[in-house]
């Protein structure tokens, strides 16, 4: 995905011109969202993002897997490995030592820090492989809109500051399917950060609304406070990363935004290093971008729920319910 255009935030001439295409896209996406899906042998938790990128879907999946581990479960992530350029017919069990982003995708490398992850376009094959490696629960980081497997519990990540943008589907707006159709298929909303745009989405939702925020690693944040930084990011909403650096007290002297999942070239890095040297500053990027680079510092962040007890109760209920049903 390229960077989200500014007109996706609010309606205008550009979005109006694209309305016919958005209507067609939305109708197809809604039918796909509502189609029946095969059921896996293990409890299945599906995470989706409301828009085409930048909602916090992957940090949410990582946080949910962390809570599952705390509950004594053995989660395994299943993903297509978005952004990879090499493909495998059979599920590939990620080994961060031997795999790189080209093989399995940058997000997969982040997920592998928390739990085993299987990369394959066919999530049914991955689900079978997950049983073989001892998993007791599946977490799909990208299975909400594809309906790859039937979920036992579905979370929809929403960036509270961005919400549904202008409320239109691609290409007129950022939505991956009509807003009400997505809300109807979700069991819980994960409202990440603060903002009125997210609250507007939550008003139309009569199930669980959970709040969370992305928190920088305290040790790294302390070291960066007051430091001169040239920041760059190849993510859907790079301004979120730049704003976070300001919030922790870093002196951001220059920024550079690249398209999401950008494959950095030697020339890109040489120009960034020259920019940092010219500003007598440190070069810094996101954790996701750092998986595609060598020797570039990043700022680790994690998603923290405001109400951990409610999250744990939702997850525990899924685990015990499936155990009773399958037992």
Of residues 156, 157, 161, 158, the one with CA closest to residue 243: 161
pLDDT of the residue at 2: 58
What does the pLDDT average to over 82-99?
77
DSSP state of 40: P
pLDDT of the residue at 97: 84
pLDDT of the residue at 87: 64
pLDDT of the residue at 197: 95
- Confidence at 28, pLDDT banded by 50, 70, 90: very high
pLDDT of the residue at 83: 59
Q: What is the pLDDT of residues 277-320, one digit of tens each?
A: 999 999 999 999 999 998 999 999 999 999 999 999 999 999 99
pLDDT of the residue at 275: 98
Q: Which residues face 77 on adjacent strands?
A: 117, 139
The answer, yes or no, to whether residue 153 has pLDDT greater than 90, is: yes
- Confidence at 102, pLDDT banded by 50, 70, 90: confident
- Between 289 and 2, name the one with better pLDDT: 289
pLDDT of the residue at 6: 86
What does the pLDDT average to over 207-232?
97
Of residues 307, 301, 266, the one with CA closest to residue 285: 301
Placement of tokens 């109400």 in the chain: 307
Alpha helices in the chain (DSSP H): 13-17, 19-33, 57-70, 101-104, 106-111, 123-132, 179-185, 196-203, 218-224, 238-247, 266-278, 287-290, 308-326
User: Among 44-53, 131-140, 255-264, 315-324, whose mean pLDDT is lowest?
Assistant: 315-324
Write down the mean pLDDT value for the chain: 93
- Between 207 and 4, name the one with better pLDDT: 207
DSSP state of 42: S
pLDDT of the residue at 88: 63
Q: What is the pLDDT of residues 233-285, one digit of tens each?
A: 999 999 999 999 999 999 999 999 999 889 899 999 999 999 999 999 999 99
Strands 282-286 and 297-299: what pairing? Answer: parallel
pLDDT of the residue at 84: 62
């Amino acid at each position: 995905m390229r960077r989200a255009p500014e007109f996706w935030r609010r309606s205008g001439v550009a979005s109006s011109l694209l309305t016919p295409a958005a209507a067609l896209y939305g109708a197809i996406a809604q039918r796909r969202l509502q189609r029946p899906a095969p059921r896996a042998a293990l409890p299945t938790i599906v995470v989706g993002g409301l828009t085409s990128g930048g909602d916090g879907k992957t940090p949410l999946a990582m946080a949910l897997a962390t809570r599952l581990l705390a509950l004594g479960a053995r989660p395994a992530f299943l993903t297509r490995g978005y952004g990879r350029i090499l493909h495998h017919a059979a599920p590939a069990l990620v080994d961060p030592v031997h795999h790189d982003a080209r093989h399995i995708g940058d997000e997969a490398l982040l997920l592998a820090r928390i739990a085993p992850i299987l990369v394959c376009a066919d999530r049914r094959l991955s689900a079978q492989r997950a049983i073989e490696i001892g998993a007791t629960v599946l977490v799909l980081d990208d299975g909400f809109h594809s309906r790859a497997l039937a979920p036992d519990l579905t979370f929809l990540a929403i960036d509270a500051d961005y919400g549904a943008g202008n409320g239109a589907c691609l290409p007129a707006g950022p939505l991956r399917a009509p807003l009400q159709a997505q809300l109807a298929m979700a069991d819980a909303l994960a409202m990440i950060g603060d903002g009125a745009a997210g609250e507007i989405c939550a008003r139309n939702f009569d199930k669980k609304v959970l709040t969370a925020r992305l928190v920088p690693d305290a040790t790294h944040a302390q070291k960066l406070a007051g430091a001169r930084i040239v920041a760059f990011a190849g993510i859907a909403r790079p301004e979120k990363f730049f704003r976070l650096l300001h919030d922790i007290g870093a002196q951001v002297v220059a920024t550079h935004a690249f398209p999401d999942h950008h494959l950095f070239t030697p020339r890109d890095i040489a120009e960034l290093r020259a920019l940092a040297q010219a500003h007598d500053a440190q070069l810094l990027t996101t954790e996701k971008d750092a998986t595609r680079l060598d020797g570039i510092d990043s700022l680790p962040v994690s998603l923290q729920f405001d109400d951990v007890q409610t999250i744990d109760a939702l997850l525990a209920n899924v685990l015990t319910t499936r155990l009773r049903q399958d037992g």
